[in-house]
Structure 1
Amino acid sequence: MDSKEPPTHINNSSMEITQSLDEDPLIDGPLISPDILDKAIKREFQQLPTSWAALLLSLVHVAFVCLSVVLAVFCSILQSHQDQCRDYLSNLPSSPVIVFAKVCLWLLLMAFERYVQRHHVAARGRGYLQFYRATRNLRSLPVYIHSAGNAAVLMVLAAEPLLKGVKHLSVSLLLGILVLELLSVPCLLLYSVRVQNFNRERPEPDVSQEERSHGYPSNTHPLSTETGFRDGSNLEDVVEKQADLIEYLKQHNTQLSKRILSLTSQQMRE
């Protein structure tokens, strides 16, 4: 009698497991094809529309410096054209006009930096962390250069009463500052080239590239992913990179869960 009891318990437990599997809608539902899921999850590549703004700002900057040099030479340094300059400038000296135009250019640079930052933050959210970090200095360096130039111009204007002993010294210093600020133009041009290359290559997010390199290592795709702190590496950069990667993975997992639920409900209705 006792030897027959264990099979009874085994049969009962197996029946309960079978019943629970039959009642589970996720297991009993249709399976999702991996190809369909990949197509649903994969986003179309979004280009960065910021290269044209960098090129346009470079042209505006070069034109501003050239016009400022012409205005300063003909209206302040040369004596023969000062009467014509007074008529065109409404009796204003050339230096205040140049400084006012420089302030307008600085405001354009600030608007450009905010516009570019917004698009690059969106690209970082789509998983392009390395490109965001590689172009960070190119985006901010022109603003730093012009801000330093503004400080230098303020110093020249403040010391202008002391510089009256040397003829045209303040105007020459002002033009020298404007010429030095042209160093921001190569930064803008290099940034524009990098953005155009990025849009042309249409790369996948960094996580996808790293997974592919881990899956298929070769000489052309070395395993250079830094997942932790190494001797000689910058701890701050490692922590920042990992924080960006975690934020992207959280957003990606949220989107993945929504897609899976949506496709599952569609197939259940079919």
Structure 2
Amino acid sequence: MDSRGPALYAPAGPSVDLSRSTEEDSLVDGPLIPADALHSAIRRNFQSVPTPGHAGLLSVLHVVYVVLSMCVAVLCVLEFGQKDVCNNILGNVRGDSVIVFGKVCLWVLVLLFTGCVQHHHNQARSRGYLRFYRQTQGLKHLPLTVHSAGNVLLLVVLAVRLSQTVQTYMLLSVLGLELLIAVPCLLYYTVQVMRFNRERAAPDVSQEEHSHNYSVTSLTTETGFREGSSLEEVVEKQADLIEYLKQHNILLSKRLLNLTAQH
């Protein structure tokens, strides 16, 4: 009895290991997924940032506002034109008040534009484009800063008791200076975003992985903490890596399901 016991139970261990190793070998021996296929799949899933159209529209509205403000200031405030025409168009509202009201409306549009840009850039950051987010971080807030500074200067001009002519020229000077600073910033921002959309690049971590031939050591060194790097930068890079790995796993799962369905 003692000699038969080990003989009966001996094959049980190898049979379990054999079945488990067969399943593992079937997965390992399957067709490997090339790195270029995953890279091209990420490029196909690229989502562009739709803010260049908003920036162009805001630039046009800014130019139109300044031109109309100059016309109102020259024709209605300085009264170089027909006064009756201004009274018929503006009614009892003063010309300088119309310019100020228009400036407030333009500032509200710039505020909405900044919020829209921030929303789309946060989405791009969550998709792994941390480098693009950092490059445009200060640029996307610059138009709002310029318009806010222009509002302060307008308040100063209106608060100081000057003659109507001097005050009008000062008002137009502030609007012109604001136009010369804000519109080039919007155009430069538009160029940067259009270039990003045209390149349709993979996420930052994917580019690093592709350039280093999927070297785990180099990727960990780039993402880990190094001397002289700030804690915020390390956390942002780690968050970028986690987001990329989620997308990478989703693509791997889709590829494996497709290969399984083919076989």
TM class by shorter-chain length?
Answer: 0.7 to 0.9
Paired position in structure 1 for 2:170? 173
* Aligned residue number for residue 227 of structure 1: 223
Is 2:33 the counterpart of 1:34? yes
Q: Alpha-carbon deviation of 1:139?
A: 1.1
Task: Kindly provide the amino acid, as one letter, of the partner of residue 53 in structure 1.
Answer: H
**Separation of aligned partners in 1, 2:207 and 2:39:** 17
- Whether the 8 Å CA contact 2:52–2:193 is kept in 1: the answer is yes
Deviation at 1:40, TM superposition (A): 9.4
Query: Relative to structure 1, is the Cα distance of residues 244 and 77 closer, same or farther in structure 2, using a 3 angstrom cutoff?
Result: farther
Aligned to 1:67: 68
Following superposition, the deviation at residue 188 of structure 1 comes to 0.5
CA–CA distance in 1 between the matches of 2:214 and 2:33?
A: 20
Deviates more, 1:50-59 or 1:94-103: 50-59
Contact kept, 8 Å, 2:73 with 2:95, in 1: the verdict is yes
Q: Per the alignment, do residues 19 and 46 of structure 1 end up closer, same or farther by CA in structure 2, a change over 3 Å counting?
A: closer
Residue 107 of structure 1 corresponds to 108
CA distance in 2, matches of 1:13, 1:236: 51
Q: Cα–Cα, structure 1 residues 231 and 16, in superposed 2: closer, same or farther, change >3 Å?
A: closer
Map 1:1-270; keep pairs closer than 5 Å: 13-21=13-21, 24=23, 31=30, 33-35=32-34, 38=38, 42=42, 44=44, 45-157=46-158, 159=159, 162-164=160-162, 166-182=163-179, 183-215=181-213, 226-228=222-224, 233=229, 235=230, 238-253=233-248, 255-256=250-251, 258-259=253-254, 262-263=257-258, 266=261
Deviation, 1:120, is 2.0
Distance 2:26 2:199 in 1: 43
Q: Closer, same or farther in 2 for the Cα pair 1:43/1:10, shift >3 Å?
A: farther
Aligned length: 254
For the Cα contact (< 8 Å) 2:127–2:244, is it kept in 1? no
The RMSD of aligned alpha carbons is 3.7
SS at match of 2:49: coil
- Compared with structure 1, are the counterparts of its residues 75 and 153 closer, same or farther at alpha carbon in structure 2 (3 Å cutoff)? same
State the alpha-carbon separation in 1 of the partners of residues 252 and 85 from structure 2: 71
Cα distance, 1:97–1:202 mapped onto 2, change above 3 Å: same
CA 254–103 in structure 1, closer or farther in 2 if over 3 Å, else same: farther
Deviation at 1:228, TM superposition (A): 4.5
* % identity of equivalent residues: 40
**8 Å contact kept, 1:72–1:171:** yes
Cα deviation, 1:46-95, whole Å, max 9, x if unaligned, reads 32222122122112111211221221122112455333222221131111
Partners of 2:99 and 2:231 in 1: how far apart? 42
1:41–1:259 contact (8 Å) kept in structure 2: no
Tell me, what secondary structure is at the counterpart of 2:174? Answer: helix
| Contact 2:128/2:243, CA 8 A, preserved across alignment | yes
Whether contact under 8 Å (1:129, 1:206) holds in the other structure is: yes
Q: Matched residue of 1:168: which SS?
A: helix
Amino acid at match of 1:128: Y
